[in-house]
Structure 1
């Protein structure tokens, strides 16, 4: 059992980085398509996408980075990722628009950085 935990955590960290990158692309594309061309606003800016994304990011980061912090006894990946999740939560509070996109992009970048730090310490 001890050897499978790092494997699962590593996989979750990689999934977390990939989802963070997809979220970042979603934010940038949303800004370009909606603001620049007036396209896709109903889908790209749907609040449910952001709520589900935050929930998924919280679960994956909580498990992968939480287990990693316990195993390698380093708080930095956890603190960085939780700061990112806080930015993502703050983005939900400001409503749609430029501020939401900026807060989300900062948040997902920090969450990805937390996963990368966790992988390096693993």
Structure 2
């Protein structure tokens, strides 16, 4: 791969990484707002509603943890100024691809967990 092609790939991966951070931030706001709207699941009178409400809260908490993990910088020293200026561009591209894939994988798991939270919330509403 030529230097120009490598630079173009690096720029594209940086864009994908930024998009992943934006998606994670929006989902984090959504999950946080849903958690605030949920209230205290132990206030429900029906036992099944309490269980479903607690499961909703747990799923939302797991979603938030996954999203925080996705947006948390974890470069493990791979993106220092010295390595970026003097390092191998192919190594930089590989590290950037791995970082972006990790972010998207965490976001995908968070969305799946959020689907579960929505299901538990629906069960909570139906059992109250």
TM-score, normalization by structure 2: 0.49
Please give the secondary structure, in 2, of the residue aligned with 1:71: coil
Task: Map 1:5-84; keep pairs closer than 5 Å.
Answer: 42=18, 45-46=21-22, 47-62=24-39, 66=41, 69-74=43-48, 75-84=50-59
How far residue 83 of structure 1 moved from its aligned partner, in angstroms, is 2.1
Instruction: Find 2:111's aligned residue among 105, 116, 121.
Output: 105
Gap regions ≥5 residues in structure 1:
1-36
Please give the secondary structure, in 2, of the residue aligned with 1:55: helix
In the alignment, does 2:66 pair up with 1:91? Answer: yes
TM-score, normalization by structure 1: 0.51
- Aligned mates of 1:120, 1:88 — CA distance in 2: 23
Moved beyond 4 Å, runs of 4+: 37-44
Instruction: Find 2:120's aligned residue among 95, 108, 114.
Output: 114
Is the Cα contact below 8 Å between 1:54 and 1:85 reproduced in 2?
yes
How far residue 43 of structure 1 moved from its aligned partner, in angstroms, is 5.5
Please give the secondary structure, in 1, of the residue aligned with 2:45: helix
Give the length in aligned residue pairs.
83
